[in-house]
């Protein structure tokens, strides 16, 4: 589609000329307009928004700060007409998440307990913001598999991280400052632009992959500049492959800059990473590898025929945090965070959102998550579809680059890792061949279980296994029907206190009740959540693909299925609002 540009100029309250340029463009476009303002840094904590009166310490508001949403709403609908053409060509109101005002970073009270927070993850404040343009790629950065990288590579990696940790504390490129970037965006620290009553959260929604891709991108470029190596790439912890499931030894060496003391001591090498980890329900060691491969198949193939089910639910201005996580985010991603973190209720460092990026292995963990995004798009063909919505493509975030310059970036520029200047080492994908077999074909579990109908049970607390019968509005679907519509199991109204680690697994027509065995077709997926320091109660949902699962169980003609919800951690803190089956084209 040809680019459409809407330009509008005004003057900020500080008398600085501003120019807003918005484009409808293909996902591979990287056109930006640069806007600069006089540069200063401030590392003072601030406590903006509803908690402002509780903190005596405030920082100066950035000059020329402009609420883009208010401007757009005052333009008589022109922005919506020009920019937000959705997939069917219709028009919709455009309210993409926009970069926060760093000077209003909150260090006040916990949203859930109303107690003062004992952590300040607010980054330095700069009055100069540049709209980032992807630089030309002259030399590709190479991201190796962590278990295949050699001594020379790790010597370089350790040197870079050591230099980052040695930077002045106020330098936004300093290791702790970089960790604070994740904390601020993920710990309910910023106000949503345009809606001061809601906090910004880039997890558990469709921004999970692009935000973390930008985060790793700049972290990697900072490391490369510190060691003067423009080709340096972060290693990915290849935990989706049995050959790479053990944490690389160098991360466990106490004299290494890659070491972190706040890890679960039982999960150091040679322990196998557990992608189905639950703090209260240990996995049989003999089942870890087969379970892991089934988890990966489920997250990357079975449950993700639709974009929302891989990326996560739509999240725009006015949306409450955690509208719905995608398959990888709620599964293997969360499991590894909990598996690595301390074996305490709060799980520092990796096991809590506020502190997770303080552990150097976070970056290798998330580099693998990013790689899986690249792999998943590759599995969908040479021109994979992504969300066409400008609410997603035009969402923007703030990061400090390798020159300590505060830059504004957009989702639209993350869709091709090679255009961002990096590639991954090729490794085998054993989970692609791990389609799980049925434990029992043509099971009569649904007709003989005596379980109640779903509509009579919910809402219910998940403090024990819950089994319900769910009606299938359509049965005996043809191949054409299946190609047209995916049958999805929706578990909605999932209420959790995100101060705690919670997890439950989902099974369909499971007769044997073996919740530690996930390598069977009856396993449908999971929901999990690691703790937050700044916590609140959220209501979310998950969607699980049924089309292939029902084929494997050979129950496509059945009018009902038996759904089992199996709490694995914190079930007493989980309420389920309902279960239903939908069909999505």
Q: Are 469 and 451 in contact (CB under 8 A)?
A: yes
Rounded Cα distance, 244 and 252, in Å: 15
Averaged pLDDT for residues 243-272: 97
The DSSP annotation for 99-158 comes to ---GGG---SB-TTT-PBPS---PPPEES--EE--PPP-SS-EEE-BTTT--HHHHHHHH
pLDDT at 569: 93
pLDDT at 145: 98
The DSSP annotation for 300-317 comes to IIIT-SSHHHHHB----T
**Domain 139-432 shares a fold with domain 445-584:** no
Tell me the pLDDT tens digit for each residue of 324-334: 999 999 999 99
267 annotated ligand-binding residue = no
Q: Which two tokens stand for residue 273?
A: 């990473």
Burial environment of residue 114 by CB neighbours within 10 A (0 to 12, 13 to 18, 19 or more): exposed
- Please provide residue 100's backbone torsions phi and psi, each rounded to the nearest 5 degrees: -75, 165
Burial environment of residue 168 by CB neighbours within 10 A (0 to 12, 13 to 18, 19 or more): exposed
532 annotated ligand-binding residue = no
CA distances for 178 relative to 119, 123, 164, 399, 556, angstroms: 15, 8, 9, 9, 50
Q: Are 456 and 472 in contact (CB under 8 A)?
A: no
pLDDT at 280: 84
pLDDT at 58: 31
Q: Is 70 exceeded by the pLDDT of residue 55?
A: no
Rounded Cα distance, 405 and 224, in Å: 16
Tell me the pLDDT tens digit for each residue of 307-347: 999 999 999 999 998 999 999 999 999 999 999 999 998 89
Q: Are 131 and 407 in contact (CB under 8 A)?
A: yes
212 annotated ligand-binding residue = yes
Higher per-residue confidence, 260 vs 82:
260
Token pair 């109908």 in the structure block, residue: 453
Q: Is 90 exceeded by the pLDDT of residue 66?
A: no
So which residues are the catalytic ones?
182, 203, 212, 333, 337, 353, 366
Q: Is 80 exceeded by the pLDDT of residue 132?
A: yes
Q: Is 402 left (phi over 0), alpha (psi -120 to 50) or beta?
A: alpha
Token pair 């003391």 in the structure block, residue: 261
Would you list the domain boundaries of the chain? 139-432, 445-584
Q: What is the pTM of this model?
A: 0.84
pLDDT at 20: 29
pLDDT tier for residue 466 given thresholds of 50, 70 and 90? very high
Rounded Cα distance, 400 and 219, in Å: 9
Tell me the pLDDT tens digit for each residue of 387-413: 999 999 999 999 999 999 999 999 999
Q: Angle at Cα 191 formed by Cα 187 and Cα 195, nearest 5°?
A: 140
How is the chain split among helix, strand and coil, in percent rounded to 5?
30, 20, 50
The lowest-confidence range among 34-48, 250-264, 477-491, 555-569 is 34-48
Q: Is 60 exceeded by the pLDDT of residue 517?
A: yes
Q: Angle at Cα 123 formed by Cα 29 and Cα 368, nearest 5°?
A: 55
pLDDT tier for residue 94 given thresholds of 50, 70 and 90? low
Q: Are 401 and 96 in contact (CB under 8 A)?
A: no
pLDDT at 136: 95
The lowest-confidence range among 214-218, 219-223, 530-534, 543-547 is 530-534
Mean pLDDT of the chain: 84
365 annotated ligand-binding residue = no
Averaged pLDDT for residues 446-462: 95
DSSP 567: E
pLDDT tier for residue 105 given thresholds of 50, 70 and 90? confident
Q: Is 70 exceeded by the pLDDT of residue 56?
A: no
Q: Which two tokens stand for residue 565?
A: 């919800």
DSSP 257: T
Find out if CATH 3.30.460.10 is the number for domain 139-432.
no
Rounded Cα distance, 525 and 568, in Å: 13
Averaged pLDDT for residues 156-162: 98
24 three-class SS: strand
Rounded Cα distance, 68 and 53, in Å: 26
Averaged pLDDT for residues 38-46: 37
Tell me the pLDDT tens digit for each residue of 4-17: 333 333 333 333 33
List 22's β-bridge partners, or say none: 6
355-373 b/e (C-beta count within 10 Å ≥ 16 → b): bbbbbbbbbbbbbbbbbbb
CA nearest neighbour of 293 among 28, 57, 517: 517
CA nearest neighbour of 406 among 96, 99, 13: 99
Q: Is 60 exceeded by the pLDDT of residue 133?
A: yes
pLDDT tier for residue 109 given thresholds of 50, 70 and 90? low
- What residue ranges in 434-577 does DSSP mark as E strands? 460-461, 466-471, 486-497, 502-508, 523-529, 537-545, 560-569, 574-576
Q: Is 50 exceeded by the pLDDT of residue 494?
A: yes
The lowest-confidence range among 181-190, 206-215, 293-302, 432-441 is 181-190
Rounded Cα distance, 495 and 491, in Å: 11
Q: Angle at Cα 258 formed by Cα 353 and Cα 146, nearest 5°?
A: 95
**N residues, the chain:** 585
pLDDT at 45: 35
Domain 445-584 class, CATH top level = mainly beta
Rounded Cα distance, 536 and 497, in Å: 6
């Amino acid at each position: 589609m040809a680019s459409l540009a809407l330009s509008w100029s005004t003057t900020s309250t500080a008398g600085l000329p501003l120019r807003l340029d918005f484009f409808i463009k293909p996902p591979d476009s990287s056109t930006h307009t640069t806007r600069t303002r006089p540069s200063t840094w401030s590392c003072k904590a601030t406590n903006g928004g509803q908690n402002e009166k509780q903190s005596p310490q405030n920082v100066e508001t950035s000059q020329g700060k402009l609420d883009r949403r208010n401007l757009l709403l005052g333009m008589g609908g022109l922005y919506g007409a020009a920019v937000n053409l959705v997939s069917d060509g219709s028009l919709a109101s455009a309210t993409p998440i926009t970069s926060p005002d760093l000077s209003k970073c909150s260090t006040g009270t916990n949203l859930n307990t109303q107690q003062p927070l004992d952590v300040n993850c607010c980054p330095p404040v700069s009055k100069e913001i540049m709209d980032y343009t992807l630089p030309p790629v002259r030399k590709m950065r190479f991201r190796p598999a962590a278990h295949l990288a050699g001594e020379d590579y790790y010597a370089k990696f350790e040197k870079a991280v050591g230099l980052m940790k040695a930077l002045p504390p106020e330098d936004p490129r300093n290791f702790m400052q970089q960790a604070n970037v994740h904390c601020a965006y993920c710990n309910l620290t910023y106000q949503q632009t345009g809606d001061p009553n809601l906090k910004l959260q880039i997890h558990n929604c469709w921004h999970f992959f692009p935000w973390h891709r930008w985060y790793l991108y700049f972290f990697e470029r900072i490391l490369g500049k510190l060691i003067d190596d423009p080709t340096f790439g972060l290693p990915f912890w290849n935990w989706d492959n049995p050959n790479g499931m053990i944490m690389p030894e160098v991360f466990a060496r106490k004299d290494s800059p890659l070491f972190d003391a706040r890890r679960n001591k039982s999960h150091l090498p040679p322990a196998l990473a557990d992608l189905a980890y639950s703090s209260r329900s240990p996995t049989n060691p003999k089942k870890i590898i087969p379970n892991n491969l089934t988890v990966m198949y489920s997250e990357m193939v079975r449950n993700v025929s639709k974009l929302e089910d891989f990326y996560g639910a739509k999240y725009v201005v006015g949306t409450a945090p955690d509208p719905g996580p995608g398959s990888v985010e709620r599964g293997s991603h969360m499991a590894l965070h909990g598996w690595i973190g301390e074996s305490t209720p709060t799980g520092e460092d990796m096991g809590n959102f506020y502190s997770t990026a303080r552990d150097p292995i976070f970056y290798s963990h998330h580099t693998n998550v990013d790689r899986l995004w690249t792999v998943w798009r590759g599995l969908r063909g040479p021109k994979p579809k992504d969300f066409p919505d400008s609410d997603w493509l035009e969402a923007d975030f703030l990061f400090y680059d390798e020159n300590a310059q505060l830059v504004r970036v957009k989702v639209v520029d993350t869709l091709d890792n090679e255009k961002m200047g990096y590639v991954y080492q090729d490794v085998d994908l054993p989970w692609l061949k791990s389609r799980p077999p049925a434990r029992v074909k043509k099971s009569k579990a649904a007709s003989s279980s005596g379980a109640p109908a779903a509509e009579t049970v919910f809402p219910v607390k998940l403090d024990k296994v819950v089994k319900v019968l769910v009606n299938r509005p359509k049965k005996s679907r043809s191949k054409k029907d299946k190609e047209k519509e995916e049958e999805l199991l929706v578990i909605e109204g999932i209420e959790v206190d995100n101060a705690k680690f919670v997890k439950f697994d989902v099974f369909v027509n499971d007769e044997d009740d073996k919740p530690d065995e996930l390598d069977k077709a009856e396993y449908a997926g999971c929901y999990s959540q690691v703790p937050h320091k700044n916590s609140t109660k959220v209501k979310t949902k998950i969607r699980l693909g049924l089309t292939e699962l029902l084929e494997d169980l050979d129950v496509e003609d059945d009018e009902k299925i038996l759904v089992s919800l199996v709490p694995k951690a914190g079930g007493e803190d989980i309420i389920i609002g309902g279960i239903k089956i939908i069909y999505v084209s």
